[in-house]
Amino acid sequence: MESKKITIVILLIACIFTSVPQQALAVPAYRYEAEAWQLYRLGVFAGASKDRFNPDLGAILDRQTGITLLLNFFGKTPEADKLSSSEIEMILSKYSDRGLILPWARKYMAYAVKTGVIVGTSETTLGPKDPLDGLAFAAMILRQTGFIVGREDYINSIRTLCIRAGLKQTDIDYFNKKQLIKDDAVGMVYAALFAECSNGKDLICNFIDTGIVSMETAVALGIVSYNAPGSVDPDGGTYNPPERPAGYQQAYFQIYDALAGAVDSIWLIRNEYTDTFEEITDIVSTCVRENPEILYYTGISYNSSGLLTFKYSKDKKTIMDHKSELVKKVDAILKEIIKPGMTDYQKEKAIHDYLVMNCEYDIDGFNSNKIRAESFNAYGALCLGIAVCEGYAEAAQLLLTRSGVESMIITGESRGYAHAWNLVRLDGQYYHLDITWDDTLQNSGNNGIRYYYFNLDDKRISRDHQWVRADYPACSSGKYEYYTYNNLAVKNQDEFIDRVIEEVQKGNKEVTLKIQDAEGFNINRAIDAIINQLYLGCSYLYNKEHGVATVKF
């Protein structure tokens, strides 16, 4: 199958590119820097700058800093913004140390007093510059999640928070400090995302339900994953640290935002993950591969000033119109084919069957070597009903992800051509899914859906597929291979004959079986034996390559 050709233009020769001075990173690495960036991306952490990611993780966490961070995290900034200057002054007027409150913290401290988030350190003091310890901050978080923390509970605040978030004893010990820095606070509030609240839901799900954070952003960050169309669960169910460092994520999502919006160029962030052109192209390729809603991207160019330019095969208006159509189509398809209570296997099969029945391979474009740009993406497969392998794979990836089935796109070769298909994860094991070949193999005078490439292991699919195995998870299980899972596999010709006769006697008019030992299988002799015993006429189809036979009576 044909795979999309991506052109990458290098504007600088290697010697010039490598001679550009590397920008040293002035910010030291902190334990929760990656978490800080994810919170920033979610819009619940501001750091020390309104315009860029500057988490200032080494700052001492005093009461005013901690309160500001906490209220911003819980989405209270819009409410704090509603306080007028006069109301803020009135609330704070009784406290003699109000002059120590920094300007950016005044509305938060006033809001915290007004709503009972904090009380004064005495009747006339707030202690804005007093250090904040782990117990106090954990207790504040727990109260915001709906729990009452009395005096007897206070001493166990860190333990309670960590247990609810699925953290370990080492984390409990780590946060139990007399003086926190902002990095510690970030770690605690990030963990709180996975903690169960008083309503029985994890905090991140409550944030999504109330609109504090975007579901799509949380999914993109890997904090939650879809379990059904429009519904999510925390990824893994407990606290999971980000897999990618903050610097990588910054570059990745800067690129993602540009590609998703069909932006022509950006000034790419300079850090240790964008030092070389190879690193940049790797991030771009990863971003495109992981996000099949990105349409019509064809390549990049980059120069030493940091300008990254994107190339597309369509104009921006067309790209955005097609993306909008694709989103609506995906929602409509999933509403039609995915039902409550479906297993991941059932969802996968429904998506496989939909694509086989509603998309055709772009054979005219392939034969003429003039494949339309639409055929390379999910828009072509789902909105136009025509695609090549890449379009099938991207459409499957989009539908699988949105329905809560973990999957990825794999690229390699098949039958002498560049090719793309999918890996699907079921019960912790990966399987190969090639809908393209299952669809193109339908064009043989038989209208039934075939499952020759449905959940194969590495050994079976490697007969006509090649890929760099080190780049992808191994597929070693045969549990969910279609014919095995549905008890449609027989060992040899004798078992085939017996099974067909048995099914017909049960009233079945069509029988499809996979013969595991197909080397000595003779379909003509098998059919003769079946006819002689049943005294019925039949038609049959046998795919020798895959050892699958269908008999109709």
**What is the model's pLDDT at position 440?**
75
The region of weakest confidence among 163-172, 344-353, 385-394 is 163-172
- Asked if 286 contacts 273 with a C-beta cutoff of 8 angstroms, the reply is no
Per-residue pLDDT tens for 507-531?
Answer: 999 999 999 988 889 999 999 999 9
Q: Comparing 19 with 357, which gets the higher pLDDT?
A: 357
- Structure token digits, residue 335: 């509403």
The region of weakest confidence among 113-122, 235-244, 281-290 is 235-244
**What is the model's pLDDT at position 513?**
97
All CATH 3.10.620 domain ranges of the chain, comma separated, are 317-483
pLDDT at 535 over 80: yes
Give the pLDDT mean for 38-45: 96
Q: Comparing 16 with 325, which gets the higher pLDDT?
A: 325
The span from the CA of 470 to the CA of 186, in Å, is 35
pLDDT at 25 over 60: no
Per-residue pLDDT tens for 316-365?
Answer: 999 999 999 999 999 999 999 999 999 999 999 999 999 999 999 999 99
* E strands, 313-370, in order: 360-361
**Residues near 271 by Cβ (< 8 Å), separated by ≥ 6?**
23, 25, 247, 250, 251
The region of weakest confidence among 13-22, 177-186, 382-391 is 13-22
Distances (CA, A) of 264 to 6, 10, 255, 260: 16, 16, 11, 11
**What is the model's pLDDT at position 1?**
53
Per-residue pLDDT tens for 51-72?
Answer: 889 999 999 999 999 999 999 9
**What is the model's pLDDT at position 49?**
81
**What is the model's pLDDT at position 248?**
96
* DSSP class per residue in 213-256: S-HHHHHHTTSEEEEETTEEEETTSS----SS-HHHHHHHHHHH
3-state secondary structure (DSSP) of residue 393: helix
pLDDT at 309 over 80: yes
For residue 152, name the pLDDT band (cuts at 50, 70, 90). confident
Q: Comparing 204 with 440, which gets the higher pLDDT?
A: 204
- Structure token digits, residue 242: 């980000």
For residue 441, name the pLDDT band (cuts at 50, 70, 90). low
pLDDT at 307 over 50: yes
For residue 50, name the pLDDT band (cuts at 50, 70, 90). confident
pTM for this predicted structure: 0.87
For residue 230, name the pLDDT band (cuts at 50, 70, 90). confident
For residue 7, name the pLDDT band (cuts at 50, 70, 90). very low
Query: Does the domain formed by 317-483 have CATH 3.10.620?
Result: yes
The span from the CA of 467 to the CA of 413, in Å, is 6
Give the pLDDT mean for 493-507: 96
**What is the model's pLDDT at position 51?**
80
For residue 5, name the pLDDT band (cuts at 50, 70, 90). very low
**What is the model's pLDDT at position 9?**
37
**What is the model's pLDDT at position 525?**
96
